[in-house]
Chains A and B, each alone.
Chain A
């Protein structure tokens, strides 16, 4: 069975600091990878996704992620966070044979002004 691990459960940063959130998945086949963000009281929104091609993926709001197949990783990065980035971030994977997203347990990001 596939699984997703997010190593950081709660991250606190000051504005303008750089962000990197770790995500590792366990599945040996072809996967599609996602990062979702959940702002307080709002629905899950897609930040970015990787299906194939360039392993460095750029998403909305200045976020990017790098797929490293040999490490089964898909880490999320942002060079300079803003207070408005305070939210919960979820990494998710779907393999091409299944119909369901498998989510990590999430990382709560708190950005202090």
Chain B
């Protein structure tokens, strides 16, 4: 069974730029969630996608958006990057209705 893979592993962007992070779900999982983990903090829920639609969102502004594709892979897009967006972004996949989450290793985003 394959796990959750995220790309890229590290990324440096300039304030004001846009970024796209990618996630491939674990085989058999149909739901993808994204989390932001700032340094020294626990992961914070950004949003979740199921059947290619957002079906839950945390306290993040609209410049954080996402997509889920028919193969259940997903993208996280962040527009107008701010310095505070520097963090580890985690993707987690699961099967709808279950509480079994598999996390990827994350993308470390640095905004300068």
* Residue B44 CB within 8 A of the other chain: yes
Bound: A36/B90 CA distance, A = 14
Are A100 and B56 also in contact (CB < 8 A) when A42-B105, A43-B103 are? yes
Known A43-B105, A46-B101, A100-B33; 6 more pairs at CB < 8 Å? A43-B90, A90-B43, A99-B33, A99-B48, A103-B43, A106-B40
Bound: A4/B44 CA distance, A = 12
Residue of A at shortest CB range from B105? A43
Bound: A41/B9 CA distance, A = 11
- Asked if B99 and A94 make an inter-chain contact with CB atoms under 8 angstroms apart, the answer reads yes
The chain B residues found within 8 Å of chain A, CB to CB, are 3-4, 31, 33, 35, 40-45, 48, 55-56, 58, 90, 92, 99-101, 103-106
Residue of B at shortest CB range from A51? B99
- Asked if A101 and B43 make an inter-chain contact with CB atoms under 8 angstroms apart, the answer reads yes
The chain A residues found within 8 Å of chain B, CB to CB, are 4, 6, 32, 34, 36, 41-46, 49, 51, 90, 92, 94, 98-106
Residue of A at shortest CB range from B59? A1
Residues of A near B42 (CB, < 8 A) are 4, 6, 90, 92, 103-106
